[in-house]
A and B are shown apart, each in its own frame.
Chain A
Amino acid sequence: MTYNYFPYNFRKIDHQYFLVSNISGNFFLCKKETLDKIIHKKIDNNLEKYLLQKGFLFKEQGDFNWNNNKFKLVKRKMLPEKIGYYMIVPTLRCNINCSYCQVSRVDQSTNGYDWDDNTLDHFFKFVSKYSDKNIKIEFQGGEPTLRVDIIKKVIQWADKNKYKAEFAICTNLLNINQEFEEIIARDDVHLSTSIDGSYEIQKNQRTKSDDLAKNFFKNFEYVSNKYGLDKISALPTFYDFDQVVPTIDFYESLGLKTIYLRPVNFQGFARKKHPISKNLTEEWGKIYNKALDYIFQKNYNKKNNFMMEFSFLTNLRRIFQPGSNGHVDLRNPNFASRDNFIVDYNGVLFPSDEARMISRIGLVDLSLGNIFDGLDSEKISNYNWNQISDVNSDCIHCSYQPYCGIDTVDDLSRYNRIDLPKIKTNFCQNNLRKFDDIFSRILSNKPENILNITGHLTGIFSTIPPFSDIIYD
């Protein structure tokens, strides 16, 4: 009996090699002659053996190979059944005014943009209804530490009701008072802040004043010295792309182990101020690849204190580690109201921070209900149908579809529509480039690439490759 093929796609990676990947994300690399044999189903015994081993063939539905592929397919698409992640905005007020503020913000002294007791009460009821005892709550803003009292109440409520909770507080670190420090000291609390670069850059792009910039770095040092660098993570935003390499060095000098290289994401109010961002995809791509090379070479010359780049890590995991579905920027399906929610200052629910921004500037209302009246199930259903790449006529032909994600909100925010051919979108171009880059690095066989691929996947930086038989010829 001859074998059947699971559906597969292929893509040219360099002048010699093609990537062949199937619906479960099984893959290998081969030359054109081999690909031709497969396409025309004229495979010899060796190739048949290889394809069997790689999970490309099956005899009949329900056999071992079939079930194995089914397992991987499900693993790649499975989302949690309960809401495990809440991003909440206890206040929209902020005490600084960054030039490209991502989130909408209001001035520190404005009234009517904070949670009150009624909001808290309904939030607790909502969590009790939609979550089990494992939750993560991220406090966003505005600047959430303007309402340390709310942070405290949320944590106390989780303690009292025996949640196994983790908390992240996204703060500009300008005010560390005693009340806030009691919260920081808890093992289940993590801080996240923005560091765009050294003192001058931080001042120009964020704090706008000498004193505040000094204060920021003083507080950063205080927290990282007292509680360790594991307590705090930092995100840069690049406005000036020439600053990427110096910022990597700066992060290294601060002892930070992870950096997330991403261009300024002009959404929300920022988009009105900076209309140039639509055409930056290509320019950023070049900068990004060079920056990765720079980090990789540094790691290669090190014995310890290796640095990881977060978006490389995300794309890499999607290839090698089925089940890495926790990151809403890169997953498919990318359903709303399945495992995470944003709860805005007024109790309105959004599927993502980006959705909150474009709703606030009035482009489209992507709210999916609120914590007082409940979920808008019709809207959620409509939204979710556009968050599946398996039914997108472009994506289904792409070799990277099993690894890639889908983000209609990003398309909407950039192009005011969701039906552009995917290849014309920033999301698609950006990820095509990243996946191409990863497979080129795999093919390159350079030790600095292998060290970094292995290091990102396992946390163990070693020149032992994470694969042995993925290149057929």
Chain B
Amino acid sequence: MIKITINANYSFQRKKSFASKIVSKDDYIPHDENNVYVNFDESNNKLFLVSKYGSIEIIDDDIKFELNEVLLFYNNINQLRRFFRPSANSNAILLTEQCDQRCIMCSQPPKDKRYDDFPLFKNALKLCPNKSIITISGGEPTLFMDELLDFLIFAKKERPDITFHILSNGQHFKKEDMKNLKEVSSNVLWGIPLYSHLPNEHDDIVSKDGAYDKLFHSFSLLLEAGSRIELRTVLMKQNIKSLLKLSDLIINKLPWIEIWAMMQLEYIGYAKMNWKKIFFDNSENFEFLENSIIHALSNKINLNLYNFPLCTVPQKFRKIARPSISDWKKKFIKECENCEKKSVCAGFFEWHKNEIGYKNIGRKFL
């Protein structure tokens, strides 16, 4: 597992946080705080990062920094955070752990913690490689809607090549946000969950009354703003039976979305707690999915399967299964040892527990 938050022995002559990019020692400019270089002391087997403010020693083991990686130095807590790794399949800003929904499968249950430091993010953004894609997640990032939109407008002006993938529950868009939403529409893909065509089924899953109605109010605004939407539907025992009706709703009312993602569960957080009540094993029964997939594809909805190991999906549907699990929390299990499809397979979440997971790995659909 790749570590994102890293501990260090700090001795920087600066207490405020700052953003910096890893360059080679030859390209290092000593008076510029926006660059650091990696120094490995072979005799003592110690890893250092050298900045204009001095050098710090990395405490955690097995850290492999990359050239052009962007780091955030949190000097007051002796930590640094990997903001952008060029080789990663996903780079995310965790904005906050606060949320106004309590989804029964939440992988990251809300806490009263927030990490929004937009001035710092703005500096980091300027250092990212050309055409970077940055995910913004939570908690619920749009709890700070004004600051978030301000950040996106800044990004659009300073770095129009960078695009964002923002995971939001779609509960907080207002008419007043329209102007800004329009402005950033082409640079942002909003990942927004919809779990059912039935308002009460959706509301039950997110544990919030009226969430469905609010969501459709938001959809109306987002459509008018020309926003790009990735609709996300986590599949569970709760909604699998009505999945076909959901595909009809999408065909009729949401054909303008860019992607519809059907997603498998992540065994962590509330999902772990509720696992037996919610986990739907698609390796046992693919019928509900099959019906819904056929509907969506026939009507040219750009449907993708996220977090599905390829061997749990019938051959004919594998072309829509994506290697969606971020590299830092992805693993392969014993059964995958001789599999040739690993490079195109989503694999498993680091915390996946095989005993209670899919019953037919590598068997049923071969």
- Listed in ascending order, the chain A residues whose CB lies under 8 Å from chain B are 26, 53-55, 62-64, 67-68, 71-72, 75, 320-324, 453-454, 457-458, 460, 462, 464-469
Minimum Cβ distance to chain A for residue B216 (Å) = 7
Quick check: B220 and A63 within 8 Å, CB to CB?
yes
Known: A67-B220, A457-B298, A468-B248. A462 touches B253 (CB 8 A): no
A321 and B255 alpha carbons, distance in the complex (Å): 10
- Chain A residue numbers with a CB within 8 Å of B255 are 68, 71-72, 75, 322
Cβ contact within 8 Å between A62 and B294: no
B247-274: CB near A (< 8 Å → 1, else 0) gives 0110011011000000000000000000
Most-contacted residue by chain B among A72, A75, A464, A467 (CB, 10 A): A464
**Interface contact B253-A68, CB-CB below 8 Å:** yes
Task: List residues of chain B with CB within 8 A of the CB of A324.
Answer: 300
Q: A466 touching B295 by the CB < 8 A rule?
A: yes
| B244 lies within 8 A of chain A by Cβ | yes
Contacts of A62 in B (CB 8 A): 224
Chain B 182-198, CB-CB to A under 8 Å as 1, else 0, gives: 00000000000000000
B366 CB to nearest A CB, Å: 16
Chain B: CB-nearest residue to A457: B298
- Contact indicator B295/A469 (Cβ below 8 Å): no
Question: Do B248 and A469 touch (CB < 8 A)?
Answer: yes
Separation in Å of the B99 CB from the closest CB of chain A?
Answer: 26
A225 to chain B, nearest CB (A): 25
User: Does B316 touch A at the CB level, under 8 Å?
Assistant: yes
Q: How far is the CA of A223 from the CA of B137 in the complex (A)?
A: 51
Known A55-B253, A71-B223, A468-B248: A454·B294 in contact at CB below 8 Å: yes
User: Which residues does chain B contribute within 8 Å of A321, judged by CB atoms?
Assistant: 298-300
Say yes or no: B298 contacts A64, CB within 8 Å. Answer: no
A-B contact pairs, 23 of them (CB 8 A): A64-B219, A64-B220, A64-B223, A67-B223, A67-B224, A68-B256, A71-B256, A75-B255, A320-B298, A321-B298, A323-B300, A453-B298, A454-B294, A458-B298, A460-B297, A460-B316, A462-B290, A464-B290, A464-B291, A465-B294, A466-B294, A466-B299, A468-B248
Report B79 CB to chain A, min CB distance, Å: 43
With a cutoff of 8 Å between Cβ atoms, the chain A residues found around residue B316 in the complex are 460
Of the residues A53, A75, A467, contact of B295 by C-beta under 8 Å? A467
Given A54-B252, A55-B252, A468-B248 in contact, is the A68-B223 Cβ separation under 8 Å? yes
Q: Which residues of A contact B291 (CB under 8 A)?
A: 464
* Chain A residues with CB below 8 A from B252, complex form: 26, 53-55
Nearest chain B CB to A43 CB, angstrom units: 18
Q: Chain A's nearest CB lies how many Å from the CB of B301?
A: 10
Residue numbers of B with Cβ under 8 A of A are: 216, 219-220, 223-224, 244-245, 248-249, 252-253, 255-256, 290-291, 294-295, 297-300, 316-317
> Given A62-B224, A68-B223: A458 and B297 within 8 A (CB)?
yes
Q: How far is the CB of A61 from chain B (nearest CB, A)?
A: 12
| Bound-complex Cα distance A64 to B220 (A) | 5
Give the docked Cα–Cα distance between A377 and B216 (Å): 45
List chain B residues, Cβ under 8 A from A320.
Answer: 298-300
Residues of chain A within 8 A (CB-CB) of B294 are 454, 458, 460, 462, 464-466
Closest to A68 in B: B253
B297 touches A457 (CB 8 A): yes
Q: Which residue of B lies closest to A464 (CB)?
A: B294
Q: Is the interface of A mostly helix, strand, loop or mixed?
A: loop
> Which A residues lie within 8 Å of B223 (CB)?
64, 67-68, 71
The reply to whether B256 and A322 contact each other, CB–CB distance below 8 Å, is: no
Minimum-distance CB pairs A-B, first 9: A466-B298, A321-B300, A64-B220, A457-B298, A458-B297, A464-B294, A71-B256, A67-B223, A460-B316
Q: State A368–B297 Cα separation when bound (angstroms).
A: 39
- Cβ of A454: which chain B residues have Cβ within 8 Å of it? 294, 298
Set of chain B residues within 8 Å of A460, measured between Cβ atoms: 294, 297, 316-317
B249 contacts which chain A residues (CB < 8 A)? 53
> Complex Cα distance A129/B5, Å?
49
- Of all chain B residues, which has the CB nearest A324? B300
Q: Which residues of A contact B317 (CB under 8 A)?
A: 460
Can you name the residue of chain B whose Cβ is closest to the Cβ of A456? Answer: B298
Using A55-B252, A72-B255, A460-B316 as known contacts, say yes or no to A467 and B298 having CB atoms under 8 A apart: yes
Q: What's the minimum C-beta distance from A23 to chain B, rounded to whole angstroms?
A: 15
Complex: A340 Cα to B58 Cα, angstroms: 59
Separation of A75 and B300 alpha carbons in the complex (Å): 12
Q: Which residue of B lies closest to A317 (CB)?
A: B300
In the complex, chain B residues whose CB is within 8 Å of the CB of A72: 255
By beta carbon, the residue of chain A nearest B254 is: A68
Minimum distance in angstroms from B323 CB to a CB of chain A: 21
**Alpha-carbon gap, A458 to B299, bound state (A):** 9
Residues from chain B with a CB closer than 8 A to the CB of A54 are: 252
A64 in contact with B216 (CB, 8 Å): yes
Can you name 19 extra interface pairs (CB under 8 A) apart from A458-B298, A467-B295, A468-B295? A55-B253, A64-B216, A67-B220, A68-B255, A68-B256, A71-B256, A72-B255, A321-B298, A324-B300, A453-B298, A457-B297, A458-B297, A460-B297, A466-B294, A466-B295, A466-B298, A466-B299, A468-B244, A468-B245
A321–B298 Cα distance when bound, in Å, is 7
A131 to B359, CA, bound (A): 52
For the complex, give the distance between the alpha carbons of A64 and B252 in Å: 12
Check B300 against A322 for contact (C-beta < 8 Å). Answer: yes
Complex: A311 Cα to B223 Cα, angstroms: 33
Q: In whole angstroms, how far apart are the Cα atoms of A469 and B255 in the complex?
A: 16
B244, closest chain A residue (CB): A468
- Shortest Cβ distance from residue B293 to the other chain A in the assembled complex, whole angstroms: 8
- Looking at the assembled complex, report how far the CB atom of A175 sits from the nearest CB atom of chain B, in whole angstroms: 37
| A320–B300 CA distance with the chains assembled, in angstroms | 8
The residue in chain B whose Cβ has the minimal distance to the Cβ of A462 is B294
A72 to B216: give the CA distance in the assembly, Å. 18
Complex alpha-carbon distance, A321 and B249, angstroms: 16
Most chain B beta carbons < 10 A, residue from A67, A75, A453: A67
Give chain A residues whose Cβ lies under 8 Å from the Cβ of B298.
Answer: 320-321, 453-454, 457-458, 466-467
In the docked arrangement, what's the CA distance between A63 and B291, Å? Answer: 31
Question: How close is A308's CB to chain B, nearest CB, in angstroms?
Answer: 14
Q: Which B residues are CB-close (under 8 A) to A68?
A: 223, 253, 255-256
Cβ of A453: which chain B residues have Cβ within 8 Å of it?
298
Q: Which residues of A contact B224 (CB under 8 A)?
A: 62, 67
Residue of B nearest to A70 (CB): B223
* A72: min CB distance to chain B, Å: 6
